[in-house]
Amino acid sequence: MKLNITHQFSKAADTYDQFSTLQNHIGHDLISLFPKTISGNLLEIGSGTGSFTQFIHQTYPKKKITCIDPSKEMIHEAQKKQPLSTIKFKQSSIEQFKSTTYYGGIFSNASLQWVEHFGEVLEKIKTLMNKEGFFIFSILGPQTMGELRNCLSKFFRQSVFLSSSFFLSGESLYEQLSQHFEFFSITEKKILVPFKDSLSLLKTIHYTGTRGRGLPNNHFWTPGTLRQLDSLFKTYFGRVEVTYQVFFITCRS
């Protein structure tokens, strides 16, 4: 994960849970892909504040879970929720993670879109799976927040590219997964999320640490310019809303 992305998540650690309704929604959907039984210990990649860790533990209460995240602030928040001896947290990116354990289940919720070299990460994950292992994850696609991208382009009168513009498409995901896994499945879902106004949307992005590369010219919003952005949303979409493109993926060893 890029250092600036980790820094943004670290700054948002103490506000993340308050604004992460969408991430929890995706996590609930991801649970439906969990197999009834898993052979071996579990690994969670990008565990953040530990909300999805709770879902994993509730599904597999007797399993040992190792949770990794590159942000020590996120790890600190997660440890407050998970005092159980079966859950261990480690500050590490998946790229830097080292383990002598082979895992029966590897999970990640709305995290892997931030990695720089997805194919290399897939290869790393494959080496961590045992012979009966599952790799189950959700990942955001490039159509995420397309409405915001369009309105910002109108506002700035130039093409605006959000971090989500560079997320992997379904076709790219399929191509890269097929190079590393013989058995996998992909399901796509689009989640439309309305907001009271543009300020509420921008606050959610800020307080979950998901602003990525930010806006052109380090723009600062004023009440007047926020009203202009509200007007653009209402003109083109009827209200302030954004779509999240989510891919749910299951891989087998």
Residue 216, pLDDT above cutoff 60: no
Number of Cβ within 10 Å of residue 37's Cβ equals 9
| 29: confidence class by pLDDT, cuts 50, 70, 90 | very high
Residues 156 and 214 sit within 8 Å (Cβ to Cβ): no
The pLDDT confidence band at residue 18, using thresholds 50, 70 and 90, is confident
Task: Work out the pLDDT band at 184, boundaries 50, 70, 90.
Answer: very high
Query: How does pLDDT run across 64-105, given as a tens digit for each residue?
Result: 999 999 999 999 999 988 677 899 999 999 999 999 999 999
Could you tell me the pLDDT band of residue 47, with boundaries at 50, 70 and 90? Answer: very high
Average pLDDT, the chain: 93
Location of structure tokens 């354990």: 101
d(CA 192, CA 121) in angstroms, rounded, equals 29
User: Could you give the domains of the chain?
Assistant: 3-144+165-192+244-252 (3.40.50.150)
Q: Which residue has the tokens 């159509």?
A: 143
